[in-house]
Structure 1
Amino acid sequence: MTTRRYLMCRPTYFAVTYRINPWMDPTAPYDNALAISQWETLRRTFLDLGHTVELIEPLPGLPDMVFAANGGTVVDGKALAVQFRDPERADEAPAYKAWFAGNGFEVYDSKHTNEGEGDILLAGDVLLAGTGFRTVHAAHLQTQELFGRPVITLQLIDPAYYHLDTALCVLDEHTVAYLPDAFSPGSRAVLRRLFPDAVIATPADAAVLGLNAVSDGETVVLPVQATALDAALKERGYQTIGVDMSELRKAGGGPKCCTLEVRS
């Protein structure tokens, strides 16, 4: 197992007060204390696995800042900052950019709408890049130029799976788990070609954001409700740890949304 370095943001100001994805219902109740408790369990899980967890200071008025995966893409010591689609999240971008700069990373501004590891996932030597709802295709071109790694564009077609990390999880350098129905026919064909041994998730597990999971190559931390996916991963030899992220799911997030991997 490779020890990972993660950046997280405590959901001090978590709330569901607007709607920018199908999971959010500002008329429904939410429990900030429960969200914090679930997030703390996730953080402790990473620490117990031996990973490093660093924290960015949450800012008032930014209830989605807890979803650190959207704060950037960090590979080979370079950090590509983000540009959010929705004005409600725009002020998160400079906060994450400042953290990268203050922690020794070369920081580059995004020229296009780009929501970080929500849509750009490192899989071995390539970057899988989602588009269709948030990150635009032009951002994929900038990502390839900056990191010098092949970028594979994947078209998302289901609004419920608006970021790539809600429809696909990188399990290790060689394989992924994903929901085929979340992708266009051509993108499904690309995934079959690249990852013929992929774990195929059920719609029921995707619907509890089971694919919004974090893998260190050996252990997969995933929503506890994703029972069939959990069993499929164990069959493949992965260890699994289930965590309850049900409160944060009310804003469309799970373990991966809360976790940005920073790679020196």
Structure 2
Amino acid sequence: MFKHTIVKIPGESYVNGLTTSNLGRPDLAKAMEQHRAYINALEKCGTKVNVLPSNNDFPDSTFVEDTAVLTPHFAVITNPGAHSRNGEIHDIEPVIKSFFETIYHINAPGMLDGGDILQIEDHFYIGVSMRTNLEGAEQLKKILESEGYKASIIHLEKFFHLKTGVAYLGDHTIIVAGEFIDHADFNSYKKIIVPPEEEYAANCIRVNDYVIIPAGSPVTKQKLTEEGYQTIELEMSEFKKLDGGLSCLSLRF
């Protein structure tokens, strides 16, 4: 059960954030509306939402997931892989310290984005991607194993982040798309497969009694419903434009 979530309001500079997509410039008013709906959904799921103010010095800082990896007993402050995002950790660390006594750090030359980290029970999967290098992955693996967790490193081929294509739903079940459908590391789990035309929906989040999914994914929604999951659909168009997904917008613990 998640009791707390941390989010950060998009700033006016959000429209200038990093992107690899060709979906156009974000509409700030729509992004703010969609972010408010996201907060409402997290509250509906039963979490206390800690809302951090925007910081226009960091256009991408609404994607708070990349700045930390949280477990029930300790936190790891990351070193985001995009140079322009490194300073985001200075805004997130004080609020993390208010909840956790034990805090580790990923140090340069290690780079690590929280979007590349998937926890399934006591096993963490660490993606090596455009934003997480092998040094950062190995640092996190060492930290996790020192605390009694298992950890595996996965080299991504196509996806931007690990959690772009796979999410854990509980009950030994994952939702997967693309390169992770037949990935050897995930073959022991029950899989809900996202069709190619709804690939964006693989980045969904299970928050207590609900699975939050992006709107416009009818096949994925139907599959989740058939498996007994309650869903909340959210419009995510203005975050998709900057390579962002549902998991990116919060830290959940």
Same fold (TM over 0.5): yes
Change (3 A) 1:162 1:105: farther
**Structure 1: runs of 5+ lacking an equivalent:** none
Tell me which residue corresponds to 2:130. Answer: 133
Equivalences for residues 142-157 of structure 1 within 5 A:
142-147=139-144, 148-157=148-157
Q: Report whether the alignment pairs 1:33 with 2:29.
A: yes
5+ residue gaps, structure 2, are none
Q: 1:133 and 1:175, CA in 2 relative to 1: closer, same or farther beyond 3 A? A: same
Distance between the aligned counterparts of 1:222 and 1:22, measured in 2?
A: 22
Aligned to 2:246: 255
Distance 1:173 1:153, change over 3 A: farther
Output the CA distance in 2 between the equivalents of 1:8 and 1:130: 23
Q: Identity percentage over the alignment?
A: 22
Deviations 1:57-93 (A, max 9, x none): 3211211111111110011331111112212212112
Alignment deviations for residues 180-213 of structure 1 (CA, whole Å, 9 cap, x no partner): 4258x7xx12211x21x2111111111xx21221
Counterpart mapping for 1:57-96 below 5 A: 57-96=53-92
- Which residue identity does 1:219 align to in structure 2? Y
Q: How does 1:213-252 map to 2 (within 5 A)?
A: 213-216=204-207, 218-252=209-243
Structure having the higher helix fraction is 2
Paired residue type of 2:48: T
Distance in 2 separating the partners of 1:141 and 1:231: 38
Q: Is the 8 A contact 1:69 1:258 kept in 2?
A: yes
More strand by share: 2
Q: TM-score by structure 2 length?
A: 0.90
Deviations for 1:24-50, whole angstroms, at most 9, x for unmatched residues? 66xx33211110110100110111221
Q: Secondary structure at the match of 2:170?
A: coil
Following superposition, the deviation at residue 5 of structure 1 comes to 1.6
Q: CA RMSD in A?
A: 2.0
How big is the shift at 1:23? Answer: 1.8
1:168 corresponding residue in structure 2: 166
Secondary structure (helix, strand or coil) at the match of 2:12 reads coil
| CA deviation vs aligned residue, 1:218-249 (integer Å, no higher than 9, x gap) | 41101011221111111111111110011111
For 2:132 and 2:171, how far apart are their aligned partners in 1? 23
Q: Residue 15 of structure 2 contacts residue 28 of structure 2 at CA under 8 Å; is this kept in 1? A: no
Separation of aligned partners in 2, 1:68 and 1:227: 28
Alpha-carbon distance change, 137 to 4 in structure 1, aligned in 2, over 3 angstroms:
farther
1:102, CA displacement in angstroms?
3.6
With structure 1 as the length reference, what TM-score do the two structures score? 0.86
